[in-house]
Structure 1
Amino acid sequence: MSLLHNIKVIITDLDGTLLHTNHQISTYTRAVFQELYQQGYLIIVATGRHHIDAMSLVATLGFPVYLVSSNGARIHSPEKELLFSFDIASDAIKSVLQLGIEPEFTTVLFKEKVWLTNKSNQKLNNFQKELHYPPEIVDFDTIEDFKAIKLFFTHECHDKLVALKNRILDTHHTLFNPAFSLPLCLEFMDKSIDKKRAIAQILQKEAVGFHQAISFGDGYNDEQMLNATAKGLLMANAPDSLKKTLSHLEVIASNDQNGVAQYLSKMLLKTKPSNYAQDGFCN
């Protein structure tokens, strides 16, 4: 407990971490986080999601938070002011697509207000309960401006995504920082972008450090963040390969068991919220 006495910052991923598999924040988690906010903790949400999509989710917490989105390519203040923005150059993405990506992969370019994709993918659409950030199906051979926040691929077979990642990195390892946010979600950011670097900017602005932060995640895009904080917690639903890589980290209950909120309630809350009852596990 002595390590946690110094904690002032709580950092959490969204999908597979704070969100249930239905892509929502439970009332139990909301109650715990509202109490943490009232007790003065700085809350940072760090996600691979686009900021428009993520903002609608974090708004359900009921208080303002710092938002790191697109794995660090955007930072928004609690007042929703854009603090940092970085896009991948058009030529860099164009050179990847010219490798001849097989049509069996769903390919996505995350633009500022719309995401361009080669085909409709219902699983991706289901990540948004309300369509705040709409898809647009395009023929990438007809696109001229490929500049984007993030390049994304998905496929039903993780091994095929791994092979695609390796094929792209064979010729583009100096340009891109790849990560699996989920086993079936392969993302490419600019080499300079990751969650840890974005969070560092927020911590500097708030005059606190990683040694005063606790973090929660479930994906390879969380790895550097989890290793940087004083205490990094890995979700039970994280891939076994990531658990092996981060075997020095404690594993907590799954996202569907409200693992983040359970841990924080037990370890950090000085008082419990009034609507803390176990039936708060429902959404």
Structure 2
Amino acid sequence: MIVTKQQFKLIITDHDGTLVNDERKLLPQTRETLERLHAQGYLFGLASGRTVADAKTFPSKWGLSFDFDVIIGLGGGEIWDGVHQRLQKGKQLRPSVVKEIVELLAPFDLSISIIYPDGRHLVSKMDRFTKESMYRNPNDRYEFPKDLSALWQEEAPKVLCRIDEERMPQLEAYVKAHPSPHYWGFKTRPDIYEFMDPENTKSNGLRKICRLLDISLEEVMAFGDTTNDNDLLACCYGVCMANGSEDTKAFSKDVTRYTNNENGVGDYIERHLLQGK
């Protein structure tokens, strides 16, 4: 694909499976490329299912010399405009809708998590997936109420469940066969499925960011790897990872030549935006 360097002002990327490797580490080559990118005046940000508060900690953890200019958090449920230091929150799932989702998932006997922007996880039961999550996110708070109804006592930005990869196609087909106007469901990793308000999408989050920064979607390059990135990559100059899912590649204008474990994002930026600078 032919890319005109001057056409882009904002570069935004998914986190897991895209910007970081499978160990959730930012490769040194990618970090160096991002430093050069930002020094050349490009805005850079993250579009992730993680909260804005969590995403804000990544630059210092990764040794970057700058903070994110923008963050689309909770898959579109939060918007951080770092240029003007403004936070916007998206629509929440009503308690009755959370109950609807929990009851929908009952046949699968999964551990269901309600995740809040302050790092609180309200979890239906302990399982190996939850233990792994607790280990990866030691600063988050995990609560296990005895009564399942505690999961739908207040509004929530999203509902998340984890499932064995071989069962994911069954869950995807099941949710597709039981549509609702109150939420939309999507795979965010081979073993994670999430539900949010239909208005909360990465593409809607990006549109809000563009209005706040007075830039067009044509001036945005975005990277992603799986189904929950499809709408984001379709609305701007979308680039799917070489390790991405086939449906996501179909929504993209280009595909990286390397995976997230091989400096895929950094290599693409270097070749298409920074070469010769």
| Higher RCO (C-alpha 8 Å, min separation 6) | 1
Shift of 1:50: 2.5
Shift of 1:168: 4.2
Residues 110-166 of structure 1: CA distance to partner in whole angstroms, max 9, x if unpaired?
1232011123355555567452323222345241514211111111134x3343344
Q: Residue 124 of structure 2 aligns with which residue?
A: 118
- CA distance in 2 between counterparts of 1:194 and 1:93 reads 18
- CA distance in 1 between counterparts of 2:270 and 2:180 reads 42
Moved more, 128-137 or 88-97: 128-137
The count of residues paired between Structure 1 and Structure 2 equals 269
Q: How does 1:61-210 map to 2 (within 5 A)?
A: 61-65=64-68, 66-78=70-82, 81-99=86-104, 101-102=106-107, 104-113=109-118, 114-123=120-129, 126=132, 129-143=136-150, 145-158=153-166, 160-210=167-217
- CA distance in 2 between counterparts of 1:58 and 1:104 reads 37
- CA distance in 2 between counterparts of 1:67 and 1:247 reads 21
Q: Residue 277 of structure 1 aligns with which residue?
A: none
Contact 1:234/1:252 (<8 A) preserved: no
- AA of the residue aligned to 1:75: I
Query: Is residue 250 of structure 1 aligned with residue 219 of structure 2?
Result: no
Question: Do the aligned partners of residues 140 and 259 (structure 1) sit closer, same or farther apart at CA in structure 2, a change above 3 Å counting?
Answer: farther
Q: Given the two structures, how large is their TM-score scaled by the length of structure 2?
A: 0.86
Contact 1:91/1:146 (<8 A) preserved: no
Question: Do the aligned partners of residues 222 and 133 (structure 1) sit closer, same or farther apart at CA in structure 2, a change above 3 Å counting?
Answer: same
- CA distance in 2 between counterparts of 1:100 and 1:232 reads 32
Q: Given the two structures, how large is their TM-score scaled by the length of structure 1?
A: 0.84
- CA distance in 2 between counterparts of 1:170 and 1:267 reads 41
Contact 1:104/1:155 (<8 A) preserved: no
- CA distance in 2 between counterparts of 1:100 and 1:248 reads 35
Q: Residue 8 of structure 1 aligns with which residue?
A: 9
Shift of 1:240: 3.7
User: SS state of the match for residue 98, structure 1?
Assistant: helix
Dislocated runs of 4+, deviation >4 Å: 121-130, 168-172
| Structure 2 unaligned spans of 5+ | none
Shift of 1:173: 2.1
Residues 244-276 of structure 1: CA distance to partner in whole angstroms, max 9, x if unpaired?
x4475334311110100111112212667xxxx
Contact 2:38/2:44 (<8 A) preserved: yes
Contact 1:106/1:119 (<8 A) preserved: yes
Percent sequence identity over aligned pairs: 23
